[in-house]
Structure 1
Amino acid sequence: MEQTIGTKENPWQLKTPPGTSDYSMYKAEKDGIEILVCTVGKTVLHYDYRCLNDLYTMLKQHGDWMELGAADEQKPAKEGTVEAWGRSEENPVGGWYGLKKGFRGRFGMYIPPLMEALDLAEVEHNPKSNRMRAI
């Protein structure tokens, strides 16, 4: 029997857009909410699972490439980027999709490759300034 990908036992194995770091993600439930668990080395981040559908919808409406603009929670996100949208009061959740205080950023680094793996988006893989768009 084939094991479902995206579970704790069989997570998605991903690379950051520049291809410089490996990480894994899987879908889980915490406090009654579906989340994505992202493990980068020893660091574990959580994102609201609905970010996949919400980001896809926003990118479809945007209709073109959008810069990723990944940044740590403590740093401001560049306006008009996926990162800025992932923490904006204007997005469908009214703020951060990242759920662990202190580790809520890097949305523009870790979510786009998963969307690419799920055939929801195209993501560039340059050393810097990568962009994505909905398929």
Structure 2
Amino acid sequence: MSYKESIGTKENPLHLKTPPLSSDYTMHVDQKDGKEILVCTVGKTVLHYDIRCIDDLYQMLKEHNDWVDLGSKDEKQESQKGTVEHWGRSPENPIRGWYGLKKNFRGRFGMYIPPLMEALGLAEVTHEKRGNKMRAK
């Protein structure tokens, strides 16, 4: 994973905007329980994602070979099948479940991971007020 340095550290995180360009947040790589994770900070809220999600989502997008709806939802909300959010919590993805690691904050995969992948040059993301999509580059 040569892109880890681009994501940043706690002291120097990557600054990003949500797909509608309405909110700022940061992302950095850290260690938890001996594993590298993505740490997403939105205001005072901190979310953790399995760093493997970057490679796995990129592979899914390459195989899909078209735009995929983001469909971002909180953990407690039902996700729509066929969206990035649904894939990020599906028993059919490569880790067989949630890429979100922090209980009660495992959702919003479709909000925070796509802009990171866009910043890393792995994907294109639309930036509409609603109904955003992504595809692999």
TM-score (norm 2): 0.95
Decide which of 95, 103, 114 is 1:93's aligned counterpart: 95
Equivalent residues of 1:16, 1:22 under 8 A apart: yes
Please give the per-residue CA displacement for 1:63-108, whole angstroms capped at 9, x wherever unaligned. 0000000000000001100000000000011000000000000000
Please give the per-residue CA displacement for 1:23-56, whole angstroms capped at 9, x wherever unaligned. 0000111001110000000000000000000000
Q: Indicate the residue corresponding to 1:14 in structure 2.
A: 16
- Aligned-pair distance for 1:10? 1.0
Structure 2 gaps, min length 5: none
User: After the TM superposition, which of the residue ranges 121-130 and 3-12 deviates more from structure 2?
Assistant: 3-12
**Counterpart-to-counterpart distance in 2, 1:93 and 1:38:** 20
Equivalent residues of 1:19, 1:125 under 8 A apart: yes
**Counterpart-to-counterpart distance in 2, 1:5 and 1:14:** 10
**Where in structure 2 are the equivalents of 1:10-49 lying within 5 Å?**
10-49=12-51
Q: Does 1:69 align with 2:71?
A: yes
- Please tell me the residue identity of whatever aligns with 2:14: W
Decide which of 103, 106, 125 is 1:104's aligned counterpart: 106
Q: Indicate the residue corresponding to 1:120 in structure 2.
A: 122
**Counterpart-to-counterpart distance in 2, 1:59 and 1:5:** 20
- Aligned-pair distance for 1:18? 0.2
Equivalent residues of 1:4, 1:10 under 8 A apart: no
Q: What secondary structure sits across from 2:25 in the alignment?
A: strand
CA RMSD of aligned residues (A): 1.1
- Please tell me the residue identity of whatever aligns with 2:135: R
Q: What secondary structure sits across from 2:55 in the alignment?
A: helix
Q: Which runs of 4+ in 1 moved over 3 A?
A: none
**Counterpart-to-counterpart distance in 1, 2:22 and 2:91:** 31
State the aligned residue count: 133
- Aligned-pair distance for 1:5? 5.0
